[in-house]
Structure 1
Amino acid sequence: MYQTTQTGTNGGSLSLPTLLIVDDEPLMTEMLSAYLTRLGYHIETACNGQVALELIRRKSSSIRVVITDMVMPVMNGVQLALQLSLEAPEIPVLLATGRDAHETSLNLPFNVVEVVQKPYQSKVLAESIKAQIGKSALEI
């Protein structure tokens, strides 16, 4: 089990949007965290859906977007999204998969706003996150 916090290089974490990365592959999490930190985001991480859910229960007001792997032990990404749709429906979920994204997108909870393909395409992922943060800012 791991949970880390990284802060972008443009100042203190209070003004930065916070993203939660949920993946059971530490290398994938580290690489994605480093990239998103360079883009100016504050990063929280969890190794599975259960750890993520516990973190969100403590910090739900600060987490703007969840990026979760689909296949993980304990609680997978779809199960996490389903639970979040009940407990924190305002948090958009990007579901990451190495499988066919179209096939995966069937019958997902409403809060899964996008299925993103792994390996990540950095620019595509960055735009998806930016779009979700923009939407949530409009709703505040």
Structure 2
Amino acid sequence: MEKARVYRNPCVTVDAIIEMDGGIVLIQRGKEPFKGMWALPGGHLDYGESLENAVARETFEESGLMLEELRQVHAYSDPGRDPRGHYISVTFTGKASGTPRAGDDANYVRIFHLDALPPLAFDHAGMIRDYFIWKAGQKSI
């Protein structure tokens, strides 16, 4: 009898880059890694869930905002980008509605102007930079 193969696959997460009221929506993380630091709303893809549904769900859970007209911006796959292990994160943008309110594992939600962004968790500063490059050319980076 042949042994079953065990595969070590990366985890998949999603992050939302939301422009609102002249700034970018960020959440303050309520748990490790990077507890207390600011980050883009996002989280893990659930089994059987699409990337689009995951980013809409995570955004609502953490910020209270509803996302529509989703557009995929970029995927980040550097094996060292997350201290928990090999994570692939896919960024999206979309039209947000609602009033920002912290929920789930977010302590706070706030809109930061680009010239006043705090230090960010993970590689989220690069994600925001790449988003504006993508937005300027409306193409994949």
Larger Rg computed on CA atoms: 2
Calculate the TM-score normalised by the size of structure 1.
Answer: 0.31
Considering fraction of residues, name the structure with more strand.
2
**Larger relative contact order (CA 8 Å, sep ≥ 6):** 2
Q: Kindly indicate which of the two structures has a greater share of residues assigned to helix.
A: 1
- What TM-score do you get using the length of structure 2 for normalisation? 0.31
